[in-house]
Amino acid sequence: DNIVPGILEYFANEVEQKVTPNLRKLIDFCHENEITVIYTKYSSFMPDGSDFSKSIKFLNNIAKTRLGEVAIPYINHPSSDIIDELKPLERDFVIQKNTSGTFISTRLDSFLRNMEIETVLVSGVVTNFCVHSTAREASDYGFQVVIVDDCCAAWSQEIHQTTLKSFGLMYGIIMTNEKLMKKISRSMKKKKEVALH
């Protein structure tokens, strides 16, 4: 009853028209520049979803009643797969999580520290849900964090922008895909120049 008319269509359009192509560009850029790419899959480890928090169980019950299927699926369900347009390469990491934030239910912190990674680029959906939770956790763990604005989407532009503005006040940087890639390219060029001297 509380679903705003057009909200699902808006979100689906944002993901298809904006987020997916921008993510494809960013992932390709990272591969070309030897930047580690980590995918996260949000699903339950238990077939009945009993390992989810109470809030996600509640969300799944609502989704099943109104839409005919759960919002966050079981790990082996086809809807938990990464979409074909963004399929990971063999060299990429794929991390399974059952919480909105990636750090709390995985060993991501250990992986990043072992790889001596200091800066984390966060993207995906939903901006005010998994993206924000993961970015806040990364900041709390001491990483420099960049949320890639046009590689994320929420249920409305207002929610998306409000979430990013709130995060950017204290926890990290908000940057568009294009600006981020230019900044990284400049930084890598400087490192190469320094290495030549």
Order of strands across the sheet that contains 144-153: 119-125, 144-153, 173-175
Q: Phi and psi for 139 in degrees, rounded to 5?
A: -65, -45
Looking at the predicted structure, is the pLDDT value of residue 162 above 60? yes
Mean pLDDT value of segment 36-63: 95
97 contacts 34 by C-beta, under 8 angstroms: no
CA angle 12, 18, 24 (to 5 degrees): 110
Q: Report yes or no on 177 lying in a domain.
A: yes
Tell me the average pLDDT of the chain: 93
> Residue 124: which of 37, 2, 9, 6 has the closest Cα?
37
Q: Report yes or no on 82 lying in a domain.
A: no
> Token pair 């057009």 is at which residue?
6
Q: Which domain holds residue 127?
A: 7-41+99-196
The per-residue DSSP string of 61-83 comes to HHHHHHHSS-SS-BTTSGGGSPP
Q: Report yes or no on 157 lying in a domain.
A: yes
CATH code for the domain in which residue 13 is found: 3.40.50.850
Mean pLDDT value of segment 96-114: 97
Q: Report yes or no on 92 lying in a domain.
A: no
Number of domains, the chain? 1
pLDDT of residue 2: 57
| Residue 8: pLDDT band with limits 50, 70, 90 | confident
Q: Report yes or no on 131 lying in a domain.
A: yes
| Residue 5: pLDDT band with limits 50, 70, 90 | low
What is the spatial distance between Cα 86 and Cα 76, in angstroms, rounded to a whole number?
A: 18
Give, in order, the Cα–Cα distances in Å from 117 to each of 67, 127, 167, 177.
Answer: 40, 23, 21, 20
User: By 3-state DSSP, what share of the chain in percent is helix, strand and coil, each rounded to 5?
Assistant: 50, 15, 35
Q: Report yes or no on 117 lying in a domain.
A: yes
Q: Report yes or no on 85 lying in a domain.
A: no
> Token pair 């008319």 is at which residue?
5
Q: Report yes or no on 28 lying in a domain.
A: yes
| Residue 4: pLDDT band with limits 50, 70, 90 | low
